[in-house]
Structure 1
Amino acid sequence: DEHDIDRLGEADRVAPLDPDKYTVLVPQDAFPNAYSKYPLHRLVLAAHDGDLELLQQMLNRDDPINGYHHDINAHHEEERINALHAAALNGQIEAVEMLLAAGADPHVRQTMPHGKDPRDGETAREMADRWGWDDIEAVLRKAEETTPKGVYLRYGTGNNSKLWPVTKPEGLDPQQERRARLRHQRMLRPLPSRGERKYYGDMVFGVTHGWDGEGKVIRPAPFGQEEALPRAASSRAGLLFPDDRAQRVGMMARAPPNARVREMARVAERVLGYDLLALCADGPAERLNQVEVAQPAIYLASLAALETLREQRPEAAERPEAVAGMALGEFAALTAAGVMSFEMGLKLVQERAAAMTEAAKQRPHRVMSVAGLDKEEVRRLCAEVSAQAGQEVYVTAELFPKACLCAGTSEAVEQLKQSCEKDSAVRPKVLDLPAAHTPLMQSARNRLEASVAQCLPNLRPPHCDVYMCASGACIRAGTDPAAITKLLCEQLTSCAMWEGCMRGMVAAGVQEIFELGPKGGLKNYMKRIDQEAWGRTENIEQ
């Protein structure tokens, strides 16, 4: 109106707005002062995690309690993405379709931080394309073709936010946008009732807090903190993912009937440059056993097994109580926990394998399994051999009582083998593998840390507990991904505490345990860690 123009000092430079056309600044079924049980970050998180039950409730505008009564196109303030972006990023095609059906605008771009051009912000389709979700990219491309564009803020805080209904085409000049934004802000008012309502969540409509029964302010927790991630009740299932010694020719032979696995195989072929699925199924074994092939192969096979579990027991696959991965298996575990996408995890696994292979060339490495000897005694022998030979050998993995892996330089491992064989009950076995989980892998760890740092902005907090080998302890659901990636890289140079992880998971009350991948080695370890839990452990292969 003219008062707005006078206040901005632009009466002689900007044409007045037509109030008959531009009075609706938000969707007609969105109510700025309406109560929403769930705040914006829950909408974004439900879309990201594929929590379809919660998403369906929130998208039901007729539900006065569970329905989300604000703008579903709104950006999460800290993550700079909206619900449609989150679903597209994480490959949740059902969530994408639900949001589009509810009126989500596919043309909205992500908000860009200070110093970045808003025009560089990606749409949901561009995000899906970047992460290799071809089916989602096709759905969003069609939606863009059939959905008229609205008007979007082109600069400043909240850039790329949608300001106008789809009936108004794009093209306001910056001064008009500024005036429109001022009018939008004047629509915002503090909610009047402190006693009747407990929480109001949404930043978009200026409702930044609520009040508890005593009148104290309740503010939304930052996205990613544990208390900000309430989730559906878990299935009380634990998911285990194996290391790269589990590969064998013939695994993945049943992959073609599963559409999700076929899609992962297509992504793997594009990223790696060869048909990994065919190599897993048909060999040859010599190539499959190469570190740079074996590690991506086990990553793919483990997540293919997860899809098999999803078909058989969807609640266990989608809502596990906890996950754990043995060394390399941590990448599959974190993918299953929603921390990273399949493609991102595959690229990190590829980099890890290449870095380990390069590190192994610097000094000849060997790995040796030792069964029948207490781990502290093995550590004593390692220290003794290292001091005498001037070489390096370490305990690298605690598998179960009286069983561990050792690794180091070839000469030191051979001497350790001779020392162990003095006890006739001990059965050492030398393996021609890189010395993972030792200081000999420091250069590989440095290289992996650099790659992980580039991915960190796109990682998400886990939606379940994660047991990490480097610490042998639990990382709680909702933990900052930076804390998780630190341990993920650290395990390349430190002992893998697998036995500790399993004891912690069992003590936490996990009821069913599924090993996802070939061979069933982790189930065998469980038999020696906890007989009762072993009886509740099942091996699932694709």
Structure 2
Amino acid sequence: MSLAALEKLHDERPKAIESCVAVAGYSIGELTGLIFSGAMTYEEGLKLVAVRGAAMQQASEISSQGMLFCYCLPSSNVFQICKQAEKWAINIGASHPVCRIAIYLHTQGKIFGGCNEALNYIQKHSAELGLRRVQKLPVSGGFHTILMEPALKAFTQALDKVQLEFPNTSVYSNYNGNIYSFNQKLNRKYLIKQIISPVKWEQIIQKIFNRPIDLDFPRTFDIASHGTMKTILQMINAKAAQKCYVY
């Protein structure tokens, strides 16, 4: 979710903003969602975005890291795959042998994050591991894994300077897939944990659109992903995607 695209939607369709009942931001977009909801000011949010980005970039430069998209067959065991890849990385002497599920994208789509040695193992053995459409992402960090632990200190210090308010609309946490609560101590914890934990995007989408069969799906706006989030929504809930508009 981009602030610029959000402003565009506000100018062109103000009623859509006024009637919004739920917000979900993918990864860094969660901060935009919190700004939109009034949980933090625009200025505070921008500072957090800058600090978070710089800290995670520094963490990504400590070792050779990356991310890998995979289409998982029903027979694949993603947790076992991570263990195998980590074991391989340890055996060949990787400095930071890590492999984790970084993003639960949709039912079959998962993104692994970790050291490049482990990701290369997955790529090489993808067929026997029950993986298809394996593709290395154009990033240099193992984001949303423990490889980002060095980024926590700077982000936590910046977050401590922010007075979090309770959101005026439901905002879903990437960390646990639930709506932010009245407990601001927990909300801060979730924002920090999000950096080193998998993004539960599929789980969030399921919760947002889970409804009785006779209840219509709401209008949804895909902000600034150029249609990527709508495509993912279609893979999770095709009927909900029919009422999704790209901005």
TM-score (norm 1): 0.42
Distance 1:315-1:485 versus aligned 2 partners, 3 A rule: farther
Q: Which of 202, 207, 210 pairs up with 1:499?
A: 202
Is the CA contact 1:367–1:406 (under 8 Å) kept in the aligned structure 2? yes
Q: Which of 186, 191, 198 pairs up with 1:483?
A: 186
Aligned to 1:354, what secondary structure does the other structure show? Answer: helix
Separation in 1, partners of 2:60, 2:175: 21
Superposed displacement of residue 424, structure 1: 8.2
Q: Which of 6, 15, 28 pairs up with 1:315?
A: 15
Separation in 2, partners of 1:374, 1:442: 32
Aligned amino acid, residue 474 of structure 1 = I
Separation in 1, partners of 2:56, 2:81: 26
Aligned partner of 2:137 in structure 1 is: 431
Aligned to 1:495, what secondary structure does the other structure show? Answer: coil
Superposed displacement of residue 480, structure 1: 3.8
1:367-401 deviation line (CA, Å, top 9, x unaligned): 11112434962222111111232121111100001
Is the CA contact 1:359–1:441 (under 8 Å) kept in the aligned structure 2? yes
Q: CA RMSD in A?
A: 1.9
Aligned partner of 1:55 in structure 2 is: none
Superposed displacement of residue 307, structure 1: 1.8
Aligned amino acid, residue 503 of structure 1 = Q
Following superposition of structure 1 onto structure 2, how do residues 4-403 of structure 1 map, counting pairs within 5 Å? 241=1, 302-374=2-74, 377-390=77-90, 391-403=97-109
The yes-or-no answer on 1:474 pairing with 2:179 is yes
Distance 1:493-1:515 versus aligned 2 partners, 3 A rule: same
Aligned amino acid, residue 238 of structure 2 = Q
1:95-152 deviation line (CA, Å, top 9, x unaligned): xxxxxxxxxxxxxxxxxxxxxxxxxxxxxxxxxxxxxxxxxxxxxxxxxxxxxxxxxx
Separation in 1, partners of 2:138, 2:4: 27
Separation in 2, partners of 1:355, 1:375: 37
Higher-Rg structure is 1
Is the CA contact 1:367–1:431 (under 8 Å) kept in the aligned structure 2? yes
Distance 1:396-1:425 versus aligned 2 partners, 3 A rule: closer
Structure 1 runs not aligned, ≥5 long: 1-240, 242-301
Is the CA contact 2:73–2:130 (under 8 Å) kept in the aligned structure 1? no
- How many residue pairs align between the two structures? 236
Aligned partner of 1:460 in structure 2 is: 165
Aligned partner of 1:516 in structure 2 is: 223
Aligned amino acid, residue 473 of structure 1 = N
Is the CA contact 1:523–1:537 (under 8 Å) kept in the aligned structure 2? yes
Separation in 2, partners of 1:330, 1:375: 32
Superposed displacement of residue 488, structure 1: 1.3
1:433-461 deviation line (CA, Å, top 9, x unaligned): 21111011111123211210121xx2211
Aligned to 2:125, what secondary structure does the other structure show? Answer: helix
Separation in 2, partners of 1:374, 1:383: 18
Superposed displacement of residue 341, structure 1: 1.4
Aligned amino acid, residue 328 of structure 1 = I
Separation in 1, partners of 2:31, 2:184: 13
Aligned amino acid, residue 470 of structure 1 = Y
Distance 1:348-1:422 versus aligned 2 partners, 3 A rule: same
Superposed displacement of residue 473, structure 1: 1.7
Distance 1:425-1:352 versus aligned 2 partners, 3 A rule: closer
Separation in 2, partners of 1:306, 1:394: 32
Aligned to 1:429, what secondary structure does the other structure show? Answer: strand
Q: Which of 517, 521, 525 pairs up with 2:232?
A: 525
Aligned to 1:368, what secondary structure does the other structure show? Answer: strand
Structure 2 runs not aligned, ≥5 long: 91-96
Separation in 2, partners of 1:418, 1:373: 16
Is the CA contact 1:375–1:403 (under 8 Å) kept in the aligned structure 2? no
Structure having the larger proportion of residues in strand: 2
Give the % identical residues.
26
Separation in 2, partners of 1:511, 1:380: 38
